[in-house]
Amino acid sequence: MSAASSYASGVGGVPLLGDTIGENLDRTVHRFPDRDALVDLAAGRRWTYAELAADVDALALGLLALGIAKGDRVGIWAPNRAEWTLVQYATAKIGAVLVTVNPAYRSHELEYVLRQSGIRLLAAADRFKSSDYAAMIEEVRPRCPDLEFVALLEGPLWNSLLERGREGDPADLARAQAALSPDDAVNIQYTSGTTGFPKGATLSHHNILNNGFFVGELCHYTEQDRVCIPVPFYHCFGMVMGNLACTSHGAAMVIPAPSFDPAATLAAVESERCTSLYGVPTMFIAELAEPGFDAYDLSSLRTGIMAGSPCPVEVMREVIERMGMTEVSICYGMTETSPVSTQTRADDSVERRVSTVGRVGPHLEVKVVDPGTGRTVPRGEPGELCTRGYSVMLGYWEEPERTAEAVDAARWMHTGDLAVMDEDGYLSITGRIKDMVIRGGENLYPREIEEFLHTHPDVLDVQVIGVPDAKYGEELMAWVRMRDGAEPLTPDTVRAYCAGRLAHFKIPRYVHVVEEFPMTVTGKVRKVEMRQEALRLLELPS
């Protein structure tokens, strides 16, 4: 393949890990028994690595005593809390497959996941915010024949699992661990899905342990690091880039709150002297806008990860300058790739970190292809980003046809994202193939227009979508969140701001000012919902 092709492979100075998640945790516990492992600030509890291992092993033995075996699916439905982490590592130790359930799911979505994955035991919070989890479980349970056990995290079955496990024989756990392979499935994560029911991306020990480890390596984690994790555990960002990156390096996992709270997050960084902070761009925007932001002592911060959706340039600059995260890393990936495929490095220039999603990770490959022909495009040309390597999922749970649509015969995962690779191998994400707007024959990429509108002094955040148009096929519509006290933008004021600086066909015809965007739990903007609402607002046919 010529040097001008949009292909790159990641050199790995450190070998891939060849162990299971349980073996890796045991090794860390042996090295750092007395260091902080887990801090749950909302619950006022903390564990050293030795204490974490004792509770994880007790829960694992309790599950074995209940009859949960290798390959059985165990669900977890709860916000971020210490018990979530215990379930994550206990299931990994016995070879059960952890099914992570979105905390925002309603009963029909819960039922689908329980049935589709065949969950035998569901560990769940009793309730969260306005959701009565216990009642919703009872509602769907009669229609879920595989569901034998429900362990509410404050309930008697949960407590008995730990009590019974503490009296169990460690040799039973050792035998269970010895029967496992790093290539075994260990996790099913349901992708949000924009049409139809979500798909269960099935991930192995090898997939997610290595991804967490190498993300941590590129953040230069050691046992001295303390990572503030306000992103949800049910998603790879929390449980892989957060928990597994920490436990594979002996770092501390800090849970600031059950769900994202900007003040609680900033307070956690200050009180626990966190060295790293995670978030999607909207989280960092909320933290920077938090009243009294300048009063928080964030001087311990060195690094962190911004991921989940493209980061506006201005937000990235503020994170580096006002939060002191001089080594902050941008990560790009998807659930199906465990999740991270590309990452910026600590020594990358600010310009690289604000304009790209970095280079391919160690032991991985990426290429940019023409979506029509599948041929690799020259560097500098846009196309679909594909990735291959240890991180690519085993497949969608019991859905071989949908797996084959996403992963080709050569094991390349087709992301559906549009990207451009520069001469040094850095990638810029220009949008989703399905988000691309075709206006009068011109291919328009919302990301470019969003970045420009972010430079408007009154704009806090902006998303651009395409809406139907009789003349041009599609027109642009900007959804805008204004800074406090700013006058709402109008199509005329946007046009005036863009005039002479943005090609006329890239200027949004419609402007809609909102307080919030429709979001997934992981902080991704749901443009599908925005388009549906736009049709209603503009009185356009669907």
Are the beta carbons of 326 and 302 closer than 8 angstroms? yes
Q: Tokens 């797996």 belong to which residue?
A: 403
Is the confidence at residue 379, as pLDDT, over 60?
Answer: yes
Q: Which of 462, 524, 186, 463 is nearest to 333 (CA)?
A: 524
Residue 523's pLDDT band (boundaries 50, 70, 90)?
confident
DSSP state of 407: B
Percentage of the chain with pLDDT > 90? Answer: 82
Rounded to 5 degrees, φ, ψ at 52 are -60, -45
Structure-model confidence comparison of residues 232 and 445, the more confident one:
232
Please state the rounded mean pLDDT for residues 82-96: 98
Q: Which of 386, 423, 365, 382 is nearest to 4 (CA)?
A: 423
Please state the rounded mean pLDDT for residues 296-318: 89
Domains of the chain in start order, with CATH, are 21-420 (3.40.50.12780), 435-537 (3.30.300.30)
Is the confidence at residue 437, as pLDDT, over 60?
Answer: yes
Tokens of 310: 């493209």
Residue 194's pLDDT band (boundaries 50, 70, 90)?
very low
Instruction: Extract long-range pairs of 172-178: CB within 8 Å, 24+ residues apart.
Output: 172/61, 172/64, 173/57, 173/60, 173/61, 173/64, 173/93, 173/94, 176/60, 176/64, 176/70, 176/93, 176/94, 176/95, 177/20, 177/22, 177/23, 177/93, 177/94, 177/95
Which pTM value belongs to this model? 0.86
Question: Which of 51-65, 105-119, 439-453 has the least mean pLDDT?
Answer: 439-453
Mean pLDDT of the chain: 94
Is the confidence at residue 329, as pLDDT, over 60?
Answer: yes
pLDDT, tens digit (0-9, with 9 covering 90-100), for 439-498 = 877 778 788 899 889 999 999 999 999 999 888 889 999 999 999 999 999 999 999 999
Residue 8's pLDDT band (boundaries 50, 70, 90)?
very high
Predicted local distance difference test score (pLDDT) of residue 227: 99
Q: Which of 128, 232, 136 is nearest to 189 (CA)?
A: 232
Predicted local distance difference test score (pLDDT) of residue 471: 81
Q: Which of 316, 323, 318 is nearest to 357 (CA)?
A: 316
Element (H, E) at 128: none
Please state the rounded mean pLDDT for residues 18-34: 98
Residue 3's pLDDT band (boundaries 50, 70, 90)?
low
Element (H, E) at 303: strand 303-306
Question: Which of 174-183, 297-306, 466-475 has the least mean pLDDT?
Answer: 466-475
Structure-model confidence comparison of residues 442 and 181, the more confident one:
181
Please state the rounded mean pLDDT for residues 527-541: 91
Q: Is the peptide bond before 457 cis (omega within 30 degrees of 0)?
A: no
Please state the rounded mean pLDDT for residues 68-92: 98
Predicted local distance difference test score (pLDDT) of residue 359: 98
DSSP class per residue in 507-518: S-SEEEE-S---
Q: Which of 335, 439, 453 is nearest to 395 (CA)?
A: 335
Predicted local distance difference test score (pLDDT) of residue 101: 95
Give the amino acid at 22.
G
Residue 196's pLDDT band (boundaries 50, 70, 90)?
low
Q: How many CB atoms lie within 10 A of CB 385?
A: 28
Predicted local distance difference test score (pLDDT) of residue 505: 85
- Helix runs in 95-204, H state only: 107-117, 133-140, 156-166, 170-178
Strand partners of residue 468: 474
pLDDT, tens digit (0-9, with 9 covering 90-100), for 345-358 = 999 988 898 889 99
Element (H, E) at 456: none
Rounded to 5 degrees, φ, ψ at 235 are -110, 160
